[in-house]
Structure 1
């Protein structure tokens, strides 16, 4: 059972509890991106099991007609086993989500550490073309290669989510100072609004970056959405949605919640303070 503190960042252990959270988000005008927690399977059985769970989730979301989609991690569905296992399981999920029987559920492909970037980009490009844009990809502004990757991605259908980057990458390939990462994020976001026809997702809780996106939208007219994590600035998410901006909350769920919750508390001081207040409260 997930303790009350972690419940602020994780929507329960089952698809049912996650969907209940989605229903509440939708009532507040916020969409959801559901992520079944799990990553780095080194045996095929675990990767296949989670891919099966995503297929079942896509079917459930379609039946309930919710404003929700799914997001998968490559290592969760087999990349650490082999490129082939990852590609097979991703294809199963995407095929189900954009099936001919009326289902239409968007699939995001999360980005992990730099060693997985090329295979993830290749998979996204293939499915973006095959589905005419029913998939999305996350890219990380801290990687020095990202401007070149955005040039490759700009002509493709689909959506691209820009985040600052959460992995501890080598200095030789990544910006490591906060000010430089922020500068890279602004540069990348500006390029996306200017060169992408649509499908720009601003993955940030930083008010300055969200304000910049609004300014860039006014300048270029490019459609965009803002994506934030469950449990972080949720009042701002609702307020932003009420102002007319498309907002989608990244909603993790599942039995493997502890590692995710621990990362969230460690990476942001306000999360740690929130958890401390809850313990002392």
Structure 2
């Protein structure tokens, strides 16, 4: 059982607990992206097991009365073993998702995984007529070229600022430059994409920038935010825009909770208050 201190950021250890949380979100007008916690496997056994779990999760979503999709980390389903294992597992997850009418996101990890991840997305988004999405990161200097490649494809593209400590020659390091790149990439996406834009950010300035671009271009988009972060804003924004909450669950909750607690001062203060009983 997940302790109350972590339950702000993690929906539970089981699919049933995660879908109960999703149902509560849906009641407030917020959709969900469900993610089974786990990553960086170097043996095929656990990678295949998590891929199996995603296939089962897709069926659970399809048979429940909730509005949810899934999101999968490549290193969780075999990329750390070899490319072919990842490609095999993401194919069968995407196939199951297509069969059940559940959208499938492919998360993006560090720069060494970008090419194989985008190759898989291009193939699957075409094969499954846009039922697959992928994430790109504004801090990587290559992202403008990647967006030009992705613009004609069906499917969705999520833009985030980027959380990995990438080499300076490949990535922007200063916060101001990353923000500048994020705005530049949003400009490009709202002008050149026909839809399928996902704005992955909690930054009010970037959300306002995206909504202004929506008003200017009329291009459809959605907002994506994490469970436990600015949740009041998520429900407020859902009155006017399509909002998705990223909902993690599973037995590997501790390392995820630790990252969330440490990455923002507000999250750390929440965790400390919970420990102190205040």
TM interval, short-chain normalised: over 0.9
The answer for the alignment partner of 1:241 in structure 2 is 238
The answer for the alignment partner of 2:28 in structure 1 is 28
The answer for the alignment partner of 1:257 in structure 2 is 253
The answer for the alignment partner of 2:223 in structure 1 is 226
The answer for the alignment partner of 2:114 in structure 1 is 117
Secondary structure of the structure 1 residue equivalent to 2:63: helix
The answer for the alignment partner of 1:14 in structure 2 is 14
Secondary structure of the structure 1 residue equivalent to 2:258: helix
Cα distance, 1:266 vs. partner? 1.4
Q: 1:124-273 residue pairs with structure 2 within 5 A?
A: 124-242=121-239, 244-273=240-269
Structure 2 unmatched ranges of 5 or more: none
Secondary structure of the structure 1 residue equivalent to 2:102: coil
Q: Distance in 2 between matches of 1:62 and 1:3?
A: 29
Cα distance, 1:65 vs. partner? 3.6
Q: Distance in 2 between matches of 1:276 and 1:104?
A: 41
Q: Distance in 1 between matches of 2:96 and 2:167?
A: 37
Q: Distance in 1 between matches of 2:153 and 2:5?
A: 41
Q: Distance in 1 between matches of 2:175 and 2:270?
A: 23
Secondary structure of the structure 2 residue equivalent to 1:136: strand
The answer for the alignment partner of 1:46 in structure 2 is 46
For these two proteins, the number of residue pairs brought into alignment is 277
Structure 1 unmatched ranges of 5 or more: none
Cα distance, 1:270 vs. partner? 1.1
Secondary structure of the structure 2 residue equivalent to 1:49: helix
Cα distance, 1:277 vs. partner? 1.8
Q: 1:82-121 residue pairs with structure 2 within 5 A?
A: 82-99=82-99, 103-121=100-118
Q: Distance in 2 between matches of 1:252 and 1:175?
A: 28
* TM-score, reference length from structure 2: 0.99
Q: 1:71-86 residue pairs with structure 2 within 5 A?
A: 71-86=71-86
Q: Distance in 2 between matches of 1:106 and 1:86?
A: 18
Q: Distance in 1 between matches of 2:81 and 2:176?
A: 37
* TM-score, reference length from structure 1: 0.98
